[in-house]
Structure 1
Amino acid sequence: MAIREIDPSSDAEISLVAERMLDTLIEVEGPERGIGIHSLPWLKERVQWHLDPSQSQGQVFVATATDGHIVGHSLLRIEGRASDPFGLVATTYIIPSARRSGWAGQFLERAHGWFREQGVNRSCTWTSGTNTALISLYRKFGYDMVDHGPHGSTGTPMVKLGRYIDDQQGAP
């Protein structure tokens, strides 16, 4: 089992991550809302956007099982003003059969390491206020709610979870 960078030249890997991003939306928002938020072509473009340094300072990691199959992914990017950047975990997904095996924690550790490499000491994620599983998971890793956002296209309130990476100052 390992976490590695996605192969940016692999259409199959990029397509798989996009499909699983859609699975995340369906899982969190339900089939009707989840399918209506973003199209599969848009999600594929979004994965590619994270990999294009001319468009974003991002990265996509995938988790592979011992048989080589991809069991999860995490998309990361640097956001904020140049004088006050932060790392954003844009999305993380692990197939149901591989959950509760430590992958989410490994993805967060990998994200924190990548953010440090980019010179960033704050990490956050936005999620649906109804995504209690993700909120609980991030709280286990020291994240606190730091902001509430507008209702997204689904009408569901969004919450921002954040923390400092290298010290115990609490949430940013």
Structure 2
Amino acid sequence: MNAPDDTHESTVCPGCRAVLPRSDWPETPKYNATPECAEVAGELLGFEVENLARLGYLHQLRIDAYGGQHVNPDAPRIGPVFALNGLYMFFERGSGNLDVRTAHGIMANSYDDWPRLVPPAEVGELTAYDVLTAGTVDDVESALLKWAREVWESWPDEDRELIRKLTVELVPERCFER
């Protein structure tokens, strides 16, 4: 995907506000995202796979940052909870891919009264497009970490505290690095 210019029609993603050139990517009802933004997310996954040795440890973080930034109000309530849980576990508990996925499985099988989380008007300034176009693998790694932290920190304190409480209540201590 190329950066938007004045000669092409563009779209504005409702989740992250990225302005991107129109594409033929299919709709993505799971996320509050334009097809164009979903295409960028797919390209970012491809970049991650091409650079798996360096970026593989950020796989779940990338998924959760995108999910936390593109909350669809009509999607199941578990989605934003899991996205924020992954961000919390990475940034505040030091947990990686496997621990977060394990926590998601445990949570899904032990709880079902998920709160409805409404994202703030702005869910971080950086977008998946900013990460994808950051430059070298080192630059992408740095941008991805900054993007994910922005998404986590943009959510209201009360929502982040709720995620902390639910996670500590439902997830065994063995899933936390710190």
TM-score, normalization: structure 1? 0.32
| Larger relative contact order (CA 8 Å, sep ≥ 6) | 2
Structure whose alpha-carbon radius of gyration is higher: 2
Structure with the largest fraction of strand: 1
TM-score, normalization: structure 2? 0.31
